[in-house]
Amino acid sequence: MRLNFPARQYPLPKTDHRKSMTRKTTILLAFIALKFLLQYVLILPSYDLHRDEYLHLDQADHLAWGYMSVPPVTSWIALIIKTLGNSVFWVRFFPALCGALTILVVWKTVEALRGSLYACVLAATCTLFSALLRLNQLFQPNSVDVLCWTTLYYFLVKYIQTRSPKWLYGIAVVFAFGFLNKYNVAFLVIGVLPAILLTEHRVLFLNRHLYFALLLAIVLISPNIIWQYQNDFPVFHHMKELSERQLVNVSRADFFKEQFIYFIGALLVIVPGFYALLFYKPFGKYKLFFFSIVFTLVVFTLLRAKGYYAIGIYPIYIAFGAVFVAERLKSVWLRAAFIIIPITIFIPVSRVAFPNKTPKEIVDGSGRYKRAGLLRWEDGKDHEIPQDFADMLGWEELAGKVDAAYAQSPDPESTLVLCDNYGQAGAINYYSRKNVNAVTFNADYVNWFDLSKKYKHVVRVKNAWEREAEIKETAPLFNNYSITDSVTTPYSRERGATIFLFVNAKVDINARISREIQEEKW
């Protein structure tokens, strides 16, 4: 007899873990790909590099453990860029890479906080569509700085979760790398240490591994400290000059205003994140992060810091906020809205925050730039276009015209190309077809004069408003001189910069340069 048993009812199989991880990885990679794409398309090819970028690129030819304005990490990256061909593509690639890695660290922080896939996507969206898109366009220490801040906070989260000493040593290594990139990372420590004292994590100061990690950090940064000592601590001179010329024009009210602007699309996540750090029970052990941001912002405010110095603070708080918001939002429509809002806000912001319009178009629509405060330069005055954009114009023209003047010299090999500022010197060195070694008594170039050559002629690049003074001061030292050309690019900060050719010196040029160098260093 045949028995007919009912078919066995097996439970539906759970979603395969590998498929889930593959889906997660695919979404993450999509964000990273979009990050790279936006970094390149949000800038018109007609813009040159920024004046600061030329200085950093020139550091590749003058490797040292320190420079007058920055520690050495930027020069290491510049050397890699030079090895890869020194093209604009690679100059923009590495800041974009730092931005992509920042998104990755934020994503990993959400995962460490047990956030869902939606929380990861929300955090990545808020991080992507923020001021980081502008920051990551320029080859400056700032992109590495933000990455180091975010990574340090992430390692602190992991230490709180595991109490494993390896995270303390990881913090030490990242801090040292961040310090060797930009001293700004010290303000993170200034904020975190008192915050630890205010919470139950104060027992950390009884952990011997903390002091071993501190020793490791000191050893790693010591080459730069020794360099500073050997060079009479130029960082203090730079900070004094910065305070007198730029930070004195920084309004504390503007500092806080800029904090809102930088991550305006992420405020719906960041603000709940602050609340969660104080009152959300699963975040109870992370309360020190709330106190940390308070201490850091207070110090920045007291020192009249520029607004962008604090950008590195916020990505970690986006991670906290995304986890909390994702846990609270159950409606599909609300979840979709929280993803759409940062993108929607970014669209009008992108119309003014990026060099994706010609200078003429910016001037014609200057109202929106003025309302956003973008026409105000570091001198405290409003100008025709944003300062950063003006600093990305006229450089290639300048280099071409200096090349032409250099070729007119009776003996190019004994001709010095002397500029007024580091932007001019760096841009000439970057774009020159004549392998010109331009220098200036400004910034690190004061250490880069090649006095093994005997100079008889000078190609001089002088700011427009000092043209007559240059003729009066320098012309008597030579048998002949001519004005060969000037920068004509509209709206360039260097517009009007005049190119002189002084030939057949009547005095010892090398001796005068040596005196100038000593006076500048003194």
Contact yes or no for 326/122 (Cβ under 8 A) = yes
Cα maximum dimension of the chain: 123
Confidence of residue 12 (pLDDT cuts 50, 70, 90): very low
pLDDT(247) > 60: no
Q: How far apart are CA 186 and CA 197, in angstroms?
A: 17
Residue 12 lies in a domain: no
Based on the domain organization, do 117 and 99 belong to the same domain? yes
Residue-range definition of the domain harbouring residue 413 = 395-521
Residue 214 lies in a domain: yes
Interval 378-428: pLDDT, tens: 887 889 999 999 999 999 999 999 999 999 999 999 999 999 999 999 999
Interval 473-491: pLDDT, tens: 999 999 999 999 999 999 9
Residue that terminates a domain, selected from 298, 326, 352:
352
Based on the domain organization, do 267 and 407 belong to the same domain? no
Q: Can you give the pLDDT at residue 6?
A: 44
pLDDT(17) > 90: no
Confidence of residue 39 (pLDDT cuts 50, 70, 90): very high
Based on the domain organization, do 197 and 338 belong to the same domain? yes
Q: Can you give the pLDDT at residue 245?
A: 63
Q: Can you give the pLDDT at residue 435?
A: 85
Residue 4 lies in a domain: no
Based on the domain organization, do 304 and 374 belong to the same domain? no
The whole-number average pLDDT for the span 289-307 is 90
Interval 337-358: pLDDT, tens: 999 999 999 999 999 999 999 9
Task: Check: pTM over 0.75? Answer yes or no.
Answer: yes
Based on the domain organization, do 432 and 496 belong to the same domain? yes
Q: How far apart are CA 363 and CA 386, in angstroms?
A: 10
The whole-number average pLDDT for the span 362-376 is 88
Q: How far apart are CA 143 and CA 74, in angstroms?
A: 10
Residue 7 lies in a domain: no
Q: How far apart are CA 150 and CA 174, in angstroms?
A: 10
Q: Can you give the pLDDT at residue 21?
A: 77
Interval 45-77: pLDDT, tens: 999 999 999 999 999 999 999 998 899 999 999
Confidence of residue 102 (pLDDT cuts 50, 70, 90): very high
Q: Can you give the pLDDT at residue 10?
A: 42
pLDDT(241) > 70: no
Q: How far apart are CA 394 and CA 488, in angstroms?
A: 8
Residue 181 lies in a domain: yes
Question: 370-379, 414-423, 500-509: which range is least confident on average?
Answer: 370-379
Q: Can you give the pLDDT at residue 378?
A: 82
Q: At what angle do helices 51-58 and 73-83 cross, to 10 degrees?
A: 80
Q: Reading across the β-sheet that carries 439-440, which strands appear in turn?
A: 439-440, 415-419, 457-462, 498-505, 478-486
Residue 1 lies in a domain: no
Based on the domain organization, do 260 and 125 belong to the same domain? yes
Based on the domain organization, do 373 and 469 belong to the same domain? no
Structural domains in the chain (count): 3
Count of Cβ atoms closer than 10 Å to residue 92 Cβ: 21
E strand or H helix at 486:
strand 478-486
Residue 9 lies in a domain: no
Task: Tell me the backbone φ, ψ of residue 428, rounded to 5 degrees.
Answer: -60, -45
Q: Can you give the pLDDT at residue 1?
A: 42
Q: How far apart are CA 425 and CA 372, in angstroms?
A: 32
Residue 500 lies in a domain: yes
The whole-number average pLDDT for the span 428-440 is 93
Based on the domain organization, do 344 and 364 belong to the same domain? no
Based on the domain organization, do 205 and 274 belong to the same domain? yes
DSSP string, 269-282: HHHHHHHHHHH-GG
Based on the domain organization, do 125 and 223 belong to the same domain? yes
**What helix, strand, coil percent values describe the chain, rounded to 5?**
65, 5, 25
Based on the domain organization, do 203 and 221 belong to the same domain? yes
Based on the domain organization, do 173 and 266 belong to the same domain? yes
Count of Cβ atoms closer than 10 Å to residue 226 Cβ: 12
